[in-house]
Amino acid sequence: MDAISIKSLVFASSNAGKCLEVKKYAAPLGIEVIGLADIASGIEGPVPEVKEIGAHYEANAVLKARAYAGWSGRACVADDTGIEIEALQGLPGLHSARWGIGRVAGELGVVFKGRAAFVCCMAYAEPNGRVVSVTSRVGGTLILDPTVEAAAVKSLQFSQFFMPDGYTENLEDLTRRGVFVSHRIRSLQALLTSLR
């Protein structure tokens, strides 16, 4: 399959922020990104809930991509992502969503500056069983400040406190401005290249 012939992709995520980021990146390439909610009404049965039980990012991304490709009958892309913090010996990693920024602040303190990396595996699966996956890393600095004390009542994201190498803004602000340097977009770029 030639990547430039891809006109649409089903991005298998219920995370609105992830979907929006991928849609914004793909639109100028002429690729329509379709969310699970967009196709669910035309498919019998509920959207499957896929448990992320894999031992690494790739295993979880492939689990999700295969499950949604089988359910929808369409090629699907899914990702698994985590942040690895040097001061925590690579944690929280796979468990980033369960930890949240509040727990990290509890471990490191609400005033902290140190090396970290966002890791993302993006997997593409077709209903016929074909799977392609790529993993990318974006290094940078995690900078915590007293705003993380609000994490118990606010939905704060790691990307709000992560400054990618070479930039003076956090990843959230860069993405909002349309500067596509995130781990997710880097993996998507590599995936599209590998599908050529």
pTM for this predicted structure: 0.89
Would you name the residues annotated as active-site residues?
A: 80
pLDDT in tens, 56-94: 999 999 999 999 999 999 999 999 999 999 999 999 999
CATH number at residue 134: 3.90.950.10
Contact present, 54 and 99 (Cβ < 8 Å)? no
Question: Using N-to-C axis directions, what is the helix angle for 183-194 and 16-26, rounded to 10°?
Answer: 50
Parent domain of 75: 3-194
pLDDT in tens, 17-67: 888 899 989 888 888 888 888 887 778 778 888 888 999 999 999 999 999
